[in-house]
Amino acid sequence: MSRSQQSTMAFDAPAETVYAAYASGEYWQALMDRYDELTPGKSDITEFSSGERGIEIEFRQVLPRAELPAILRPVIPLDLAITRRHFFGPFDQSGVNGHYSASVSHAPGRLDGSYVLAKAATGSRLHVDSRCKVSMPLLGGKLEDMVLQSVKDVFTIEGAFTADWISEHV
């Protein structure tokens, strides 16, 4: 059985402005640089495209095994490499839909979710619905909860980063 979690990021900027940030390679590189400041691993963009069919981004983050929670170290023998793929469809007047997935080296499970970026009474909102499944007897549910909490933390960091980036670049 998998677990799910919903998150919402609120932006003062209109949805069109948030989407324009996501459509910028400069934005994603700045986000990778920010992650490199926050963690001792390395974050790299492996794919990026933006056009009339939408936005696609793939990046890889490496977290040293020593930085993992103690419960994970016995089951994760090496540094953790996380590959995230994001897709945002074309923007229209009502906003945009998208999805993401994450794969983790040396870990049995999956993480994915969907996005809705929409206008709000003031600014915009990015609603994220995440799903996690860890295929490990006895520990799976506890690890799913940990992963979803980490995802929530990541989206909090990325929401704040996006708001700051927009205020500095738009």
Give the CATH number for residue 8: 3.30.530.20
pLDDT at res. 125: 97
pLDDT at res. 98: 98
- How many domains in the chain? 1
pLDDT at res. 63: 82
pLDDT at res. 163: 97
Structure tokens that stand for 113 in this block: 């979710």
pLDDT at res. 28: 98
4 alpha carbon, distance to own chain's centre: 15
* Mean per-residue pLDDT pooled into runs of 10, the chain (170 residues): 92 96 97 90 94 97 82 76 96 93 84 96 96 82 84 93 95
Structure tokens that stand for 17 in this block: 């402005």
pLDDT at res. 119: 95
Domain region containing 16: 3-169
pLDDT at res. 78: 81
CA quadruple 21, 22, 27, 31: dihedral sign: positive
Structure tokens that stand for 2 in this block: 């998998």
